[in-house]
Structure 1
């Protein structure tokens, strides 16, 4: 006991020492935290760069301009600072100061401002030299008054072709350039790209970006007015200069360049379509196009050319978005290539367009087959502990997978999985003679067919005509879980669903709809669980079994912004029993509930660090009666929420947090079964990740993080009121953990070791659940006399979110 107290004091003083050191270092100026190495001795060198904007504009506009302008320092004047050890910086090999490089930087910045519509900017540079030892440091500051941004006064189209002019006017609403829009070369470039895209979707196969240009008219129409009075003319010039300075505007006209090639104005149509589904990766496209060594099948206006016959024509046709006789559409052409490549049956898709006659195009698609079949074996391990000496669980599992990418020659994907694993108790020596080495054993097998199309009872569902990666999923799964001495759970699952995706430039939208989902469960309670039921009848609510006939819908959106910020949104809803519960014969044998989930993740990346956030909420409401037990009002335990472990609330062990601030589970005198499940979950995570070093190609990183959350039941139980959610008790019920960790990134996988401490534990009876700095403890004693750790070590694979 004495040794343990001494160890706790040592840990406490070490933690306090590092905290004070970190706060002291953070209080120093950035200059004192910056080290310069390999600098030129006796010569002034660049030590700092700074851009100051003095012009008007919104806070966000000025911030963006300042950030962008700092990227336009000349390379020989740019200072490159490397972040080291979280708060420190290092400058290596700083460039020698030369005033010419400052002038170059001003020219680069002026060119950038011109591109953004600022043509009347003023620049002033300031150079400050400072001697530190044998270092002659130079800080360069450029102060800029960018002036007013030029705006577009009018937008017009003069294309000298009736059809092109008509298309431009019809699609004018889609333009980002309108009267009053700020002038920007990037905006004009985007408008030219948009116009070319419109024309190439309407058959203008030979029209290119170089055939269009934007003409800018900066003339003030008042200056064209003829006058013989020199004073009047001077007044007009002065007035024009004043307007240009206060509110500069230009006129924009999109025009077509003159050309002698008349085919650029020809609208091409699709002729024949040829498929080569057995192309070898070593084949030369030009050679096989003219080769006679193929068997050819004609299907209407399309041709299938092969040598062995590994693929049917139907999946190729279903994923081709062009037909003979219609105007060539470049967007549909590339969509066809991308979709065929994403089915999975082919690893690579190439294409070629050959002109026929003066206005027709033959399309050739060359598809390289992917490896048809493959086996994979995965070995997974995880360790979860709330105490180094007691309560350790080590899980190990094996997953065997077989995949066939071309079932029945129709590019249908077939995946078979077999998984088995055990959860071992590593604390057998802690005077627990009744414990067993194997705590949990599970085994499961499943099979999924992924059809590369939507198989629906009704045809021509127009809502799905514009989406990508349409699939129909048929899945079966059987599982067996043996929680030693407590329960045995058997399940058989089957589902029929549809998945589709909408791909955009910087975001993807994925939908998964399962109109039919059947889950059959059988639960055997063993003596250990029956004993717990007698000690605490409340636990019986969490262990019930029955059948599920449900429908579910999930939506996922990923956004990758240009500023290295990414967003992830997931929404899901599952309903069971609404339809099948209408049948009296099934009403008493199935669950009836609705369950919803919502998750949002955001990450902002820098060169060697990242800030990540996650928010998750879930809720399930039981609006029916349990099969065989009308008194129970919660979800079945295999559909409830749980928190804790390597990926959720890391200061707590797996499934060891909750419910609310109830101590019901602590009243059970057992150390081998404390799993907790709830009908509602709220969780928020924030994590700052950074790279510390790279050794032998392995990135060694760390993180500082905080986890906030808990689980609850929705319906109140008079026997355990603190386990149900109440807005008035939310502050009391929320648990808070903070921690740090070590990450080893091998590129293809990441090993993570996290340490977390319970800053606020709803089960802690003192100080409102908050930790005490004065009476700091690594452990707490619960009401049942069991010693519980206030910290946890978690070993995980991959990032937590």
Structure 2
């Protein structure tokens, strides 16, 4: 503990010394830009909306508190030829020197932005405050009285477009009484353009739309008129109404090389077929069935051009793993003054077959081992972009800490799993049109795993049938139509049975070390407001996600057992072919939100609850479906599966620290540090509980008048290495409130910390939420 405090105090002293020389490299007569503040006198003008116009930003702060990188830079000497000085300057940040010209340009741009918001008389005053060689910069925004839209008029000389806009008027962003906000006016231009592009106006864009705004004399009221200009192919041409285009024919080119010329005449094709009046051109062999191509289209000959359906077609072909790229081109037919378009779907083939080898080290509660796997994947098994995968895996581990009476200390595992994913919705008795609308993928999977431990041998086999689909790019659905898992234990050590199973009081052990059948179905809903964007939403954007999952098992089998009059076994369970089956209902809800402070700092919140209820044919939840607390993705002041249930202190037995109810909540302050490193400060809370009271889990049962006193709390710091394609995470957590104790010093380690007792280190891949 003393060593820990020594390191903390040393770091504080070093930073304090560095802060004394924050202006070490600021030239005479110049100032370090220490802080920028934007203040407004109108709540409709948010300072954050004007921050983008600031041209200079002060040196960045870690966790919005300390300008660590500036201090690191200032630790360097003035001799830039020395290696140590160059290194410190490279990893640090040079001081930002205040530039008056940049400040004035930012002021001018803010004035324009305020005017564009409808405050035409608004102004921005720039002022500074200096202390020694540091400067604080202030932008004070005076909004003035806003200009309000008094009346709306439309100047549209294209009768058909005028009819379209009249029918769509309820979606208009323009309203009487609104502020004369240029941003809203431009958004309405884009909305109209998008709407017309969905209704055949292939050549339309927002530049055909403009506005005039006339102010009523001596008032702040504006008469606004929207103008939609007629079409001109060239400047000197006469104006004409905009043309609506229809699709003439659609052709497929399946061997398009993106590195070659995009001209159709330069594409190397050798043969073609016609399927339902769709020409399909290919080079040597058609690698996709024609039906797969045509069913991926969202438009057809004779349809009005629709930009939304074009984008949907892109999405449909993007789901086909047999393809690497898709490019859709439209060419006007060269027959007179035609309004017909020929569509060309240009497809680039992906690599269909691959073999992957993986080697990994394992660490199970301190026991070291190794595992290796080899997998084969075919992304076009039946020429319909079906993805087939088969994977073989083997693992070996040396187990320590076993008592006498076991024949060996080795753990071996062998397994094989296979799956096939179809890019369409497979279900009998459904029409092709209905299946095309859903756009779901179907996955069939099987798995077999054999484990040999000193205590027992275990075989697990499973088969599943599920569907996945995405809607609006933000919502993901998954339906597990059926998932059958069989757990078989052909051998158990006599010592293991005597020590754990035959004691009579450990129901969880007895239940989870018997042959068991689990037949379940479930539904999973996942919403992410960031959609499919590849942003690092931890820092870059405000976003939130919602996840909901529900599953049940054993209900159909229980109904069949009751109807068939099957007799129960000695444990009061129904069995199929002598194998008892699990029956439970499980539901989970999870919410996470990210709030961006600036481009380097953000807050992240997370809360999750779950409950699993065994009933009818089961008294306990299967081990794989139980909840655990503690670890890198839970309350990080405790080790993996080392917390709970309730105020149970644990007895070293993993199965005894499991539960049926879960609660987790976290808050993190995340900050970019330097290079690819990010830092985090966090507070976690949570625990697990059981629904029933078990003798081997004293204090673990959930009670409404006690559960809130049994919520554990932890705090800590984390370091993350962002390697773009994945993130390595290192978190150190300290216990703050320990629910094992009801009162006293041990309950509040935040006030009486002991490093060896309260600290837990975690290494993980990816963010905790």
TM range (shorter): 0.7 to 0.9
Match of 1:553 among 518, 523, 526: 523
Match status 1:364 vs 2:344: yes
Identify the residue that residue 313 of structure 1 maps to in structure 2: 290
Provide the rounded CA distance (Å) in 2 between the counterparts of 1:17 and 1:290. Answer: 69
* Paired residues of 1:645 and 1:794 also in contact (CA < 8 A): yes
Match status 1:454 vs 2:425: yes
Offset of residue 771 of structure 1: 3.5
Question: Could you tell me the TM-score, scaled by structure 2's length?
Answer: 0.84
Match status 1:590 vs 2:590: no
Question: For 1:766-801, what per-residue CA distance to the aligned partner results, in whole angstroms no more than 9, with x for missing partners?
Answer: 62852347765456xxxxxxxxx4333333333333
Match status 1:52 vs 2:39: yes
Offset of residue 735 of structure 1: 2.0
* Paired residues of 1:344 and 1:405 also in contact (CA < 8 A): yes
Shift in alpha-carbon separation, 1:282–1:126, aligned structure 2, 3 A: closer
Shift in alpha-carbon separation, 1:196–1:458, aligned structure 2, 3 A: farther
Offset of residue 573 of structure 1: 0.7
Match status 1:527 vs 2:519: no
Match status 1:739 vs 2:713: no
For 1:250-269, what aligned pairs fall within 5 Å after superposition? Answer: 250-257=223-230, 259=232, 260=237, 265-269=242-246
Provide the rounded CA distance (Å) in 1 between the counterparts of 2:129 and 2:730. Answer: 47
Match status 1:642 vs 2:628: yes
* Paired residues of 1:577 and 1:590 also in contact (CA < 8 A): yes
Identify the residue that residue 448 of structure 2 maps to in structure 1: 478
3-state SS of 2:380 partner: strand
Shift in alpha-carbon separation, 1:726–1:269, aligned structure 2, 3 A: same
How many residue pairs get aligned? The number is 711
Provide the rounded CA distance (Å) in 1 between the counterparts of 2:612 and 2:32. Answer: 64
Provide the rounded CA distance (Å) in 2 between the counterparts of 1:679 and 1:138. Answer: 58
Question: Could you tell me the TM-score, scaled by structure 1's length?
Answer: 0.81
Match status 1:297 vs 2:273: yes
Provide the rounded CA distance (Å) in 2 between the counterparts of 1:337 and 1:265. Answer: 26
Identify the residue that residue 421 of structure 1 maps to in structure 2: 395
* Paired residues of 2:721 and 2:729 also in contact (CA < 8 A): yes
Provide the rounded CA distance (Å) in 1 between the counterparts of 2:303 and 2:344. Answer: 16
RMSD over equivalenced CA pairs, Å: 3.4
3-state SS of 1:614 partner: strand
3-state SS of 1:193 partner: helix
Match status 1:618 vs 2:615: no
* Paired residues of 2:641 and 2:654 also in contact (CA < 8 A): no
Question: For 1:438-497, what per-residue CA distance to the aligned partner results, in whole angstroms no more than 9, with x for missing partners?
Answer: 565433321111111112224348887656x52111111122234431x43322211222
Identify the residue that residue 677 of structure 1 maps to in structure 2: 658
Question: For 1:103-158, what per-residue CA distance to the aligned partner results, in whole angstroms no more than 9, with x for missing partners?
Answer: 4333211111122111111343434344x2xx3x4443332211233333344433
Identify the residue that residue 27 of structure 2 maps to in structure 1: 40
Identify the residue that residue 255 of structure 2 maps to in structure 1: 278
Question: For 1:270-304, what per-residue CA distance to the aligned partner results, in whole angstroms no more than 9, with x for missing partners?
Answer: 1111111122343333144676x531111123111
Shift in alpha-carbon separation, 1:761–1:18, aligned structure 2, 3 A: farther
* Paired residues of 1:645 and 1:653 also in contact (CA < 8 A): yes
Match status 1:219 vs 2:211: no
* Paired residues of 2:508 and 2:620 also in contact (CA < 8 A): no
* Paired residues of 1:53 and 1:144 also in contact (CA < 8 A): yes
Shift in alpha-carbon separation, 1:771–1:399, aligned structure 2, 3 A: farther
Shift in alpha-carbon separation, 1:682–1:127, aligned structure 2, 3 A: closer
Offset of residue 720 of structure 1: 5.3
Match status 1:71 vs 2:52: yes
Offset of residue 559 of structure 1: 1.4
Match status 1:502 vs 2:503: no
* Paired residues of 2:484 and 2:520 also in contact (CA < 8 A): yes
Deviates more, 1:541-550 or 1:293-302: 541-550
Provide the rounded CA distance (Å) in 1 between the counterparts of 2:310 and 2:701. Answer: 56
Provide the rounded CA distance (Å) in 2 between the counterparts of 1:362 and 1:294. Answer: 21
Provide the rounded CA distance (Å) in 1 between the counterparts of 2:590 and 2:424. Answer: 28
Shift in alpha-carbon separation, 1:559–1:250, aligned structure 2, 3 A: same
For 1:636-785, what aligned pairs fall within 5 Å after superposition? Answer: 636-663=622-649, 665-666=650-651, 676-694=657-675, 699-717=676-694, 722-764=699-741, 767=744, 770-772=747-749, 776-778=753-755
Provide the rounded CA distance (Å) in 2 between the counterparts of 1:375 and 1:569. Answer: 36
Match status 1:406 vs 2:380: yes
Question: For 1:706-735, what per-residue CA distance to the aligned partner results, in whole angstroms no more than 9, with x for missing partners?
Answer: 332222212345775622211211133222
3-state SS of 2:195 partner: helix
Identify the residue that residue 75 of structure 2 maps to in structure 1: none
Provide the rounded CA distance (Å) in 2 between the counterparts of 1:172 and 1:601. Answer: 36
Offset of residue 163 of structure 1: 1.6
Provide the rounded CA distance (Å) in 2 between the counterparts of 1:45 and 1:744. Answer: 30
Offset of residue 102 of structure 1: 4.7
